[in-house]
Copies of this chain bind each other. A is one copy, B any other.
């Protein structure tokens, strides 16, 4: 037989060639001596650092729609959302593994679009393809594992918040959820000129911000917002064994044109319960608060509440009335999106 004729191998070669290193990234050879093509990849850890490991499902019908999400966005987003977990630890991106299951009919143009988006994200965030697994399947299934690094003793956990710490968020909340609604409403595919649709299709993991907050020891606890503030904040509270008082009037909400606003509270509802924003939620002790700038490289940083001893999350309105925050964010085992 001719050696190496199998089609799974040729698919792997196509992926490897498409997401190969640019000359700028050739330096990565120092930390990735062996990439695609063997039984496993070999990663060379940086002395004095710990390795950050995370994996994420990205599944057709569950996390994206084949007829609404351009393949380029699927490629970008599957990596970007996994990188957001590295950002949430204060880590630097290093490399990733791609597990891809595809219908045989999508190994042409769809795959090219997908690999284009993946390559752009890989280069933008300096995270190189180290390996993966491919198989055939009637629906598109993606799983991405990202490997990052963080200097020893600088990793930022969910569990470090103390009562009295101030609660901050980066960016504007609810934007990706609003983008998704516009996308579902539209007959055609994405108009990525719209900033909310763009944020939904091409989220930007806050890697530089996360690294800065960790390196300067500004934050006491941190996580990323993937399922929505009302789902994620209770997780940070549980890990830190504290509660939180949120001030809705301070929450930076997505801007919605007046003609779309069915009720004045819509932007706040999107900000509280909308998923996929991939912003950072972090706490800062009062004596470090002066170190938090109003914005970091153009991304606003906003104080939205304070941590408490009460082990619950409450919303406090402008007349100081309190009400509990209902959790209505994304949970695959509770409801279909």
Chain A positions within 8 Å of B, measured between CB atoms, are: 1-9, 11, 33-34, 37-45, 47, 50-57, 59, 62-63, 85-86, 88-89, 91, 95, 97, 99, 101, 104, 107, 130-137, 141, 143, 145-148, 150, 155, 157-159, 223-224, 231, 234-235, 237-239, 243, 311-313, 324-327, 331-334
Contact = CB atoms under 8 A, between A and B. Distances in A.
Task: Report, nearest first, the 3 A-B pairs whose CB atoms are least far apart.
Answer: A40-B54, A39-B88, A45-B45
A54 B99 CA distance: 10
Contact of A51 (B45, B57, B132): B45
A311 B133 CA distance: 26
A85 B50 CA distance: 23
Contacts of A235: 4, 9
A50 B56 contact: no
A332 to B, nearest CB: 4
A34 B155 contact: yes
A51 to B, nearest CB: 4
B137 A53 contact: no
B40 A3 contact: no
Given A45-B45, A45-B51, 11 more contacts: A1-B234, A1-B325, A3-B238, A39-B158, A40-B88, A42-B53, A53-B97, A55-B143, A57-B133, A62-B136, A136-B333
Given A38-B158, A55-B99, A334-B8, A1 B324 contact: yes
A150 B159 CA distance: 32
A40 B131 contact: no
Contact of A39 (B11, B40, B97, B224): B224
A20 B141 CA distance: 28
B85 A37 contact: no
Contact of A3 (B38, B55, B224, B313): B313
Contacts of A331: 6-8
Contacts of A34: 155, 157
A276 to B, nearest CB: 14
Contacts of A141: 57, 59, 141
B324 A53 contact: no
A44 B5 CA distance: 40
